[in-house]
Chain A
Amino acid sequence: DGGITQSPKYLFRKEGQNVTLSCEQNLNHDAMYWYRQDPGQGLRLIYYSQIVNDFQKGDIAEGYSVSREKKESFPLTVTSAQKNPTAFYLCASKVTGLSNTEAFFGQGTRLTVV
């Protein structure tokens, strides 16, 4: 079955730690995205990537980092510089960034700082 897999589903982080959220897709999509959902604020774009070895900052990139070494994978690292990391994180992919097609989402990772 083709799709996007995010892991883990739940993640707990101590203050000052970096954590990495995994996102893997087998849809052969070029474009991948990371969004963050907070209550009452919809989804906000953190980072996006159109092709391997290239990525761009979204609207709220501070405190986050990404890599795109393989087409299938787009991991997100939440660093200790992120002031309010507790949120629901969603990864998405799309055939290409330029087409009028929908983005497909993973099931999300709930990150909680303890």
Chain B
Amino acid sequence: DQQVKQNSPSLSVQEGRISILNCDYTNSMFDYFLWYKKYPAEGPTFLISISSIKDKNEDGRFTVFLNKSAKHLSLHIVPSQPGDSAVYFCAATANAGGTSYGKLTFGQGTILTVHP
């Protein structure tokens, strides 16, 4: 049962344009969502997160939007740069109630390629 899904395996964008990466989830207990960036043969690095009490969080070129009713979140990168080319993972956790112990459930990842 895939509780976090990233349905687009890859995305190609021109430098300077917007990149939009999407993520859907099924578990209504998830209350904290994160995006990680990963290069081959390296560990993921944290990009941005959002709590379920918000619908938007912005950090520089990165903005995450959360639509709880649709169980959907998206990561917007504006403007996209060639250095943004990597695999992006969406992750979710259910902290309320104290039973998840910070366990992250990951999507399959989306390969973003930004062309100069």
Using CB atoms and an 8 Å cutoff, list the residues of chain A in contact with chain B. Answer: 4, 6, 31, 33, 35, 40-45, 48, 50, 56, 58, 88, 90, 92, 94, 96-100, 102-108, 110
Give the residues from 77 to 116 in chain B that come closer than 8 angstroms, CB to CB, to chain A. Answer: 89, 91, 95, 98, 100-109
Please list 16 pairs of residues, one from A and one from B, whose beta carbons are closer than 8 Å in the complex, sorted by A's number: A43-B89, A44-B106, A45-B104, A50-B102, A56-B101, A58-B103, A97-B102, A98-B95, A98-B101, A99-B95, A100-B49, A100-B95, A102-B46, A103-B34, A107-B43, A110-B41
Query: A33, A99, A102, A110: which has the most chain B beta carbons within 10 Å?
Result: A102
B contact residues, range: 20 to 34
Please name the 7 residue pairs, one residue from A and one from B, whose CB atoms are nearest each other, closest first: A105-B43, A97-B102, A97-B101, A42-B106, A102-B46, A43-B106, A42-B108
Chain A residues near B98 (CB, 8 Å)? Answer: 98
Centre residue among B4, B100, B102, B109 by max chain A CB count within 10 A: B102
Cα distance, A4 to B44, chains bound together (Å): 12
A103 adjacent to B104 (CB under 8 Å): yes
Whole-angstrom CA separation of A88 from B49 in the bound complex: 24
Complex-state Cα separation, A33 to B106, whole angstroms: 13
A42 vs B109: C-alpha distance when bound (angstroms): 6
In the complex with contacts A40-B108, A41-B108, A97-B101, A108-B41 CB distance below 8 A: yes
Contact among B32, B41, B46 with A100 in the assembled complex (CB-CB below 8 Å): B32
Q: Verify B42–A94 contact, CB threshold 8 A.
A: no
- Secondary structure at the B interface, as helix, strand, loop or mixed, is loop
Interface contacts beyond A42-B89, A99-B102: sample of 17 additional A-B pairs, CB < 8 Å, sorted by A = A6-B43, A42-B107, A42-B109, A43-B104, A44-B106, A45-B104, A50-B102, A90-B43, A90-B44, A94-B102, A97-B103, A98-B98, A99-B95, A103-B46, A103-B104, A106-B43, A108-B42
Chain A CB within 8 A of B63 CB = no
Complexed CA–CA distance, A48 and B100 (Å): 10
Residues in chain A near residue B46, CB distance under 8 A: 102-104
